[in-house]
Amino acid sequence: MGVITNNLDLWAEALLGTVVLFLGGGAIALVLGFIVGAMRVSPVPIARAVGTVYVNTIRNTPLTLVFFVFVFIVPVLFERRMDFTVLGILALGIYTATYVAETIRSGINTVSVGQAEAARAIGLSFGQVMTLVILPQAFRSVIPPMMSVLIALLKNTTVAAGFSVLNLGSIRANMSERGENALVVILWVMVIFVVLVLLLAWVQRALENKWRIAR
């Protein structure tokens, strides 16, 4: 316990860094993922094409390379210095959005086509069909896979450690400079991640119970 109690300041900063990366990246991923997911099933060919290119390009690119682009290339393009934490959030959000989009698309495909056709028959637009008929039903089926995506995002925050962003993934190096045992630090990091994942699992169960369909 001395590894934690003697270095509470560093652990607090690292945990905060991980939470900020997770919440910021998650917010971007959910919003952008919903948009791209809707584009993937849109009746407009251009929208489907753009969504497909985005998903296939970003999802098939290693996350480390996505970080590299945001940390080293984006600031050059904008000709200004940018905070690495902000760049890390953008990289995580844009990368994870591809998985959110595919999860949303799979959920949409579970809804009967007849319901969409019936909604269009009474004069609803594509946007109204998606928001009023399809997505509310699809949301129930995507809770488990969506939570898996968010858990993966949580663990992916450690990649930011390689780009000078303080989080739980980088605390081992900082603790080693203070003379702490690296193996003990890694074990505590593992414990913290297990606790965070269990918390997300609890949220998943709560959402599933709230939106469970009576049978």
Q: Give me the average pLDDT of each 10-residue run along the chain (215 residues).
A: 73 90 95 89 87 92 91 82 88 94 86 77 78 78 88 92 84 73 84 92 85 55
**What's the pLDDT score for residue 131?**
76
Q: How far is it, in rounded angstroms, from Cα 41 to Cα 44?
A: 9
What total number of domains does the chain contain?
1
Helix (H, G, I), strand (E, B) or coil at 212: coil
Assigned domain for 94 exists: yes
**What's the pLDDT score for residue 112?**
75
Assigned domain for 215 exists: no
Assigned domain for 27 exists: yes
Q: How far is it, in rounded angstroms, from Cα 80 to Cα 130?
A: 40
Identify the domain containing residue 181 by its residue range.
2-210
Is residue 89 exposed (0-12), middle (13-18) or buried (19+ Cβ within 10 Å)?
buried
The conformation of residue 44, written as its DSSP 8-state character, comes to -
**What's the pLDDT score for residue 101?**
92
| CATH number for 15 | 1.10.3720.10
Give the sign of the dihedral formed by CA 148, CA 153, CA 155, CA 159. Answer: positive
Q: How far is it, in rounded angstroms, from Cα 133 to Cα 111?
A: 9
**What's the pLDDT score for residue 89?**
93
Write the CA distances from 210 to 137, 155, 207, integer angstroms: 13, 26, 5
**What's the pLDDT score for residue 212?**
65
Closest CA to 74 of 89, 60, 87, 58: 87
**What's the pLDDT score for residue 153?**
94
**What's the pLDDT score for residue 198?**
94
Is residue 98 exposed (0-12), middle (13-18) or buried (19+ Cβ within 10 Å)?
buried
Q: Would you say 163 and 31 are in contact if contact means Cβ atoms under 8 Å apart? A: no
Assigned domain for 120 exists: yes
